[in-house]
Structure 1
Amino acid sequence: MSLFWRIFGLNAVVLGAATVLLLWAPITVSVPILVTEAVILLGGLSVMLVANAALLRIGLTPLGRLARLMTTIDLLRPGQRLTVRGHGDVAELIRTFNAMLDRLEAERAASSARALSAQEAERRRIARELHDEVGQSLTAVLLELGRAADQAPDPLRTELHQAQEVTRDSLDEVRRIARRLRPGVLEDLGLVSALTALATDFATHTGLRVRHRFEAGLPPMTPETELVVYRVAQEGLTNIARHAEAEHAELRLRRGDGGVVLSLRDDGRGLGIIREGAGIRGMRERALFVGATLEIAHEPERGTQLVLTAPAVEERKP
């Protein structure tokens, strides 16, 4: 039954019931109308309006659910769908909306994959240029300053040594930025070693006490999934250092149902109501890229917890 005939039928039922009651009831209308007759007519009208409103609410409830979902849908949280009940215009509308969400989520996942691949390629290029060009130039400057300091008189030698220390600090910073852009230890030594180095680096440069616990015997993951886990941990630690006002953080990696679970918790101030910025949405896009799920819980004055559940590679049986 279409929506038009459904609404028409509901109204017909209400009006038909009112007509039957009027035919059977010993009610007359005088001219001028009496108070009791007016009360009876107004009461009957009220009953008709209430019944009509109730029936229309029942008939239009699926449209209300559809409108609420349309205002809250987020393609970075896939899987939100409405249940299709029965047939007719409303059911067909909901079915079409669900199909549209399927297409949009697939297109979003594909575009995110292309964007993230391009981003990682650009990161590798910039890291290589920082290491090969800027790093070598600073190394040459450092050597020249050392030779000049050996031949300079005492007052100038002190200033040259100070310039040498500044250059050495700049070289270390360039190398650190290059490592963050392109985690070579992830490719060479694996995810656990890369996360250990990441936690140590953050503790050294930010003063944040990072405790890490990594379970042994983790299931294998694809290189793309390992990179996503590393980047999510990196972005999570960066957010803690910038916004959480925390003193301690705990980074854990353990086996989960069908995959690996990365959890990051801090003892900062929390954010109360979640307002997701570019960093969190970027983490959600990365998780969506490899079919992972990301959950973030904020509690005021009790810190923040981030949980990433990433899929493992299915082991083929011989």
Structure 2
Amino acid sequence: MQSEKDNISSYIIQSQEQELKRIALELHEGVGQTLYSLYTGMQLIEGTVDKSMKGYMKDMTQLLEKTIQEVRLLAVELHPPTLTTLGLLSAMKTYLKLYTSTYGIEVDFHVSGDEVELGEKERITLFRVCQEALVNIAIHADTMKATITLVWETEKIFISISDSGKGFEVETAMKQSTGLASMIERMDLIGGSCIIASKPQEGTSIEFSLPL
């Protein structure tokens, strides 16, 4: 019965990922490219208008630039293109740059060991749980700094994400947050583990481990 439930959950997640990949591509190739064309056009116009309009044009150009950044982050959040082509590490680096520029949270990213090629399901899962943890920090932790440690070992990959923010009572949060439960379920479906440790005013640490 449990195996059947896991198969259904895995199928649902796979279907969702395929749809997210399609939407991300449309955002990047469609909306993103259109906005960038508008942005370059606005820059050209800005240099030709009189002084009374320059301030307005500059504000519009900056707004477009901010919108392009937000669309890029959304596309990467939905499905980072480098995750398929270059692997987990490259996808994480790309995401963290956009994450910091969007949320203003500096992330210390430490990596040790030699990267091991992972299957698509494992790559997507590890990226998603890291993404969930980082978004939670941005929304709930009330901090401007986070730390990620990624360790490639012979028999497993280990990822730790921590912050020194507000923290929370884990037992209470597990009953209220589908995001926390989702991280645990996703890791369980690929044979990994997720350990969440937190206390109010003492920050949060989340550890992911996956046998290789």
Cα deviation, residue 154, structure 1: 3.3
Q: Within the alignment, does 1:166 sit opposite 2:63 as a pair?
A: yes
Q: Flag the 1:206–1:291 CA change in 2: closer, same or farther, 3 A.
A: same
Q: Secondary structure at the match of 1:270?
A: coil
Cα deviation, residue 125, structure 1: 1.4
Q: Flag the 1:265–1:152 CA change in 2: closer, same or farther, 3 A.
A: closer
Question: Could you say which residue in structure 1 is the equivalent of 2:52?
Answer: 155
Match of 2:203 among 290, 300, 303: 303
Q: Contact 1:247 / 1:267 at 8 angstroms: preserved in 2?
A: no
Cα root mean square deviation, aligned: 2.2
**Higher RCO (CA < 8 A, seq sep 6+):** 2
Q: Contact 1:292 / 1:309 at 8 angstroms: preserved in 2?
A: yes
Q: Flag the 1:210–1:157 CA change in 2: closer, same or farther, 3 A.
A: closer
Instruction: Return the TM-score normalized by structure 2.
Output: 0.86
CA distance in 2: counterparts of 1:268 and 1:111, whole angstroms: 36
Q: Secondary structure at the match of 2:168?
A: coil
Paired residues, number: 209
Question: Could you say which residue in structure 2 is the equivalent of 1:293?
Answer: 193
Question: Could you say which residue in structure 2 is the equivalent of 1:24?
Answer: none
Percent pairwise identity? 27
Cα deviation, residue 203, structure 1: 3.1
Match of 1:192 among 89, 97, 121: 89
Unmatched 5+ residue regions in structure 1? 1-102, 313-318
Q: Flag the 1:141–1:205 CA change in 2: closer, same or farther, 3 A.
A: closer
Cα deviation, residue 162, structure 1: 2.6
CA distance in 1: counterparts of 2:178 and 2:35, whole angstroms: 33
Cα deviation, residue 257, structure 1: 7.8
CA distance in 2: counterparts of 1:218 and 1:281, whole angstroms: 28
Q: Contact 2:170 / 2:196 at 8 angstroms: preserved in 1?
A: no
CA distance in 2: counterparts of 1:209 and 1:143, whole angstroms: 29
Q: Which has the higher strand share?
A: 2
Q: Within the alignment, does 1:279 sit opposite 2:206 as a pair?
A: no
Matches within 5 A, 1:62-81: none
Cα deviation, residue 193, structure 1: 2.4
Q: Contact 1:249 / 1:265 at 8 angstroms: preserved in 2?
A: yes
Unmatched 5+ residue regions in structure 2? none
> Which is greater in Rg?
1
Deviations 1:155-208 (A, max 9, x none): 234423332222122122212211221112222332222223333433333232
Question: Could you say which residue in structure 1 is the equivalent of 2:131?
Answer: 234
